[in-house]
């Protein structure tokens, strides 16, 4: 029997600096009431000058490893999902691997925008389920504040910084029951950020900023997350009513509510923290998953659906059979972490 990729550790890191809607009122033509009505966001976190995707990833990873009671030296692989890496190369995962002291682990990055963490989680699970590796660390980490145009009301209200991590470990219980990943590159111009190596005929001094067609993305997001969730649930041999918890990408409260309604599930069955953190792209789902555990919303045997969408355009979903986190020999009782996840 093939091993299963059980989540044995969860971690998060949120920068200390809080940027409120009142703060944004001083930067662009907006208001707290308008932002909350349109997005559900009240505040978001912004990385300090000495923080980066790798430094935040290391902090989230340490928390996850501590919970799983795994020494970094025993990791087989480190996967980092990010669209805001420390640099073009080496991979941010290599910096994290070194920072953790995971000397025997391989390391690589995944860039699938807001679908990055789910893509990394599916990839890491395959390494375990095939028997190739026993312990894989998957991290989503973003410093999107550095690629946001702070004069663009359509994007600066939404995006922020955070890191979340999970430890995957070979086990006889728990882990993914199914996953689906999709992409439609014809919609790439609806949500993107160019980089320093982009085509010279389209590059300009602001080409690295996030650009988004908000109306198109809203319509796409609800349809994409609903269809992906239904596909993954059916692939797992389950029905919608079998799902105990939705952990959606935290992009916009209206999108989350509309997707839950489209699935026929009450909003109370969805994990929501977008009001406090905004859209943290690849970090969104692992941070929400950690906080769902902290709040006591994850129980052994629960069927949990992760679902997401993002630039690509990309979208996907995963169904998890939840098993208690912590070392294989014992369950861990949830305790509330500090805002920084330390």
For the cut 80, the answer to whether the pLDDT of residue 251 exceeds it is: yes
Domain holding 179, by residue range, is 1-342
Using DSSP, state whether 163 is helix, strand or coil: strand
Using DSSP, state whether 186 is helix, strand or coil: helix
How high is the pLDDT of residue 202? Answer: 75
For the cut 60, the answer to whether the pLDDT of residue 335 exceeds it is: no
Q: What is the mean pLDDT of residues 104-132?
A: 98
**What are 146-183's pLDDT values in tens digits?**
999 999 999 999 999 999 999 999 999 999 999 999 99
Report the percentage of the chain scoring pLDDT > 70.
Answer: 94
342: domain CATH number is: 3.40.47.10
User: Nearest-CA neighbor of 310 among 146, 110, 43?
Assistant: 110
Contacts of 36 (CB under 8 A, 6+ apart): 21, 42, 275
d(CA 229, CA 308) in angstroms, rounded, equals 9
Number of domains in the chain: 1
DSSP secondary structure letter of residue 197: T
Contact between 282 and 142 under an 8 Å Cβ cutoff? The reply is: yes
Beta bridge partners of residue 182, listed in sequence order: 315
Give the range among 43-47, 223-227, 248-252, 327-331 with minimum mean pLDDT: 327-331
d(CA 312, CA 338) in angstroms, rounded, equals 34
For the cut 70, the answer to whether the pLDDT of residue 78 exceeds it is: yes
Contact between 14 and 340 under an 8 Å Cβ cutoff? The reply is: yes
How high is the pLDDT of residue 342? Answer: 39
Cβ atoms within 10 Å, residue 342: 12
**What are 21-62's pLDDT values in tens digits?**
999 999 999 999 999 999 999 999 999 999 999 999 999 999
Q: Residue 328: pLDDT band by 50, 70, 90 thresholds? A: low
Contact between 95 and 66 under an 8 Å Cβ cutoff? The reply is: no
d(CA 222, CA 44) in angstroms, rounded, equals 23
Taking the CA of residue 282 as centre, how many other CA atoms within 13 Å lie in the half-sphere pointing to its CB? 31
The alpha carbon of 323 is separated from its chain's Cα centroid by a whole number of angstroms, namely 20
d(CA 267, CA 270) in angstroms, rounded, equals 5
Contact between 284 and 308 under an 8 Å Cβ cutoff? The reply is: yes
For the cut 70, the answer to whether the pLDDT of residue 332 exceeds it is: no
How high is the pLDDT of residue 93? Answer: 98
Residues classed as catalytic: 114, 249, 279
Cβ atoms within 10 Å, residue 145: 20
pTM (global) more than 0.85: yes
Q: What is the mean pLDDT of residues 49-76?
A: 98
DSSP secondary structure letter of residue 224: H
d(CA 236, CA 95) in angstroms, rounded, equals 36
How high is the pLDDT of residue 1? Answer: 75
């Amino acid at each position: 029997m093939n091993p299963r990729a059980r989540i044995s550790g969860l971690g998060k890191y949120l920068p200390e600096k809080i940027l409120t809607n009142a703060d944004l009122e001083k930067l662009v033509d907006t208001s707290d009431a308008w932002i909350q009505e349109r997005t559900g966001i009240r505040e978001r976190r912004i990385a300090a000058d000495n923080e980066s995707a790798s430094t935040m990833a290391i902090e989230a990873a340490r928390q996850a490893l501590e919970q799983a009671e795994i020494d970094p030296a025993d990791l087989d692989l480190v996967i980092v999902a990010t669209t805001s890496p420390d640099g073009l190369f080496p991979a941010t995962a290599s910096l994290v691997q070194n920072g953790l002291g995971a000397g025997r682990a391989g390391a690589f990055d995944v860039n699938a925008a807001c679908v990055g963490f789910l893509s990394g989680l599916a990839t890491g699970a395959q390494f375990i389920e095939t028997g190739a590796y026993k312990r894989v660390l998957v991290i989503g980490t973003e410093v999107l504040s550095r690629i946001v145009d702070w004069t663009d009301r359509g994007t600066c209200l939404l995006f922020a910084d955070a890191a979340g991590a999970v430890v995957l470990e070979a086990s006889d219980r728990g882990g993914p029951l199914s996953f689906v990943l999709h992409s439609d590159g014809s919609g790439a111009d609806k949500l993107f950020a160019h980089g320093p190596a982009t085509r010279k005929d389209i590059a300009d001094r602001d080409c690295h900023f996030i650009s988004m067609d908000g109306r198109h993305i809203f319509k796409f997001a609800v349809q994409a997350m609903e269809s992906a969730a239904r596909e993954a649930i059916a692939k797992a041999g389950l029905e919608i009513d079998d799902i105990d918890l939705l952990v959606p990408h935290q992009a916009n409260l209206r999108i989350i509510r509309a997707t839950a309604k489209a699935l026929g599930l009450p909003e109370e069955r969805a994990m929501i923290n977008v009001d406090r953190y905004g859209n943290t792209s690849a970090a969104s789902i692992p941070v929400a998953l950690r906080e769902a555990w902290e709040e006591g919303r994850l129980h052994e045997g629960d069927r949990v659906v992760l679902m997401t969408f993002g630039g690509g355009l990309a979208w996907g979903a995963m169904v998890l059979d939840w098993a208690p986190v912590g070392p294989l020999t014992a369950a861990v009782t949830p305790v509330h972490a500090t805002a920084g996840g330390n």
